Amino acid sequence: MIKDLGPDRVDKLQEIVDQVFIPCNLNMSLCYLKLKGYSTAVHFATEVLNKDEKNIKALYRRGTAYIYLSEFEKAKEDLKLANSVAPEDKDVQQAFELLKTKKKQSSEKEKMLSRKILEGVSFSDGREISPQPQSTAQENSKPKSGGFLDRLNGIRTTFRNIFHKICRRKAKKNLSLIHI
């Protein structure tokens, strides 16, 4: 049907589509960021960047979505490029601060989970992974999410049981390096 319009009209329609493509995809990316649909926000921002590699809004929005998806290296790349294009953009600077904060929080969560999983495990050289230090009174006053903590403790117990089985098998074969 579009071909029936003639080459001049098809070119004109393509021009119109090209003019609204970037703003529409930028708006969709923003909407999905607000709705916390970060993967979809990345998709729409990427569509814009396929047409305009240095679109600041698209780089900022995709970088922000990557932060919330915990894809910190990708976020850093997009935000660096956005910063090189517009170093005075305050939104990009705030996104860098958000990146630092989220990265630090993620690292702390990983350390805490690792410590919980390995809590009470001792090694053949006498080293022991001690329990997590006592939390402050302020942290103790916060309500705890029973469902999440129960699942976390279940995972920890499963890992400890597997670890114990492996160690017992090694002990039976006189290959034990770790004593529990």
Residues of the chain with pLDDT under 70: 1-7, 119-149, 151-152, 163-164, 166-180
According to the model, what pLDDT value does residue 160 have? 72
Joined tokens for residue 81: 């490029």
Q: pTM above 0.85?
A: no
Cα–Cα distance for residue pair 66/124, rounded to 1 Å: 42
According to the model, what pLDDT value does residue 43 have? 96
| Burial class of residue 124 (count of CB atoms within 10 Å of its CB; 0-12, 13-18, 19+) | exposed
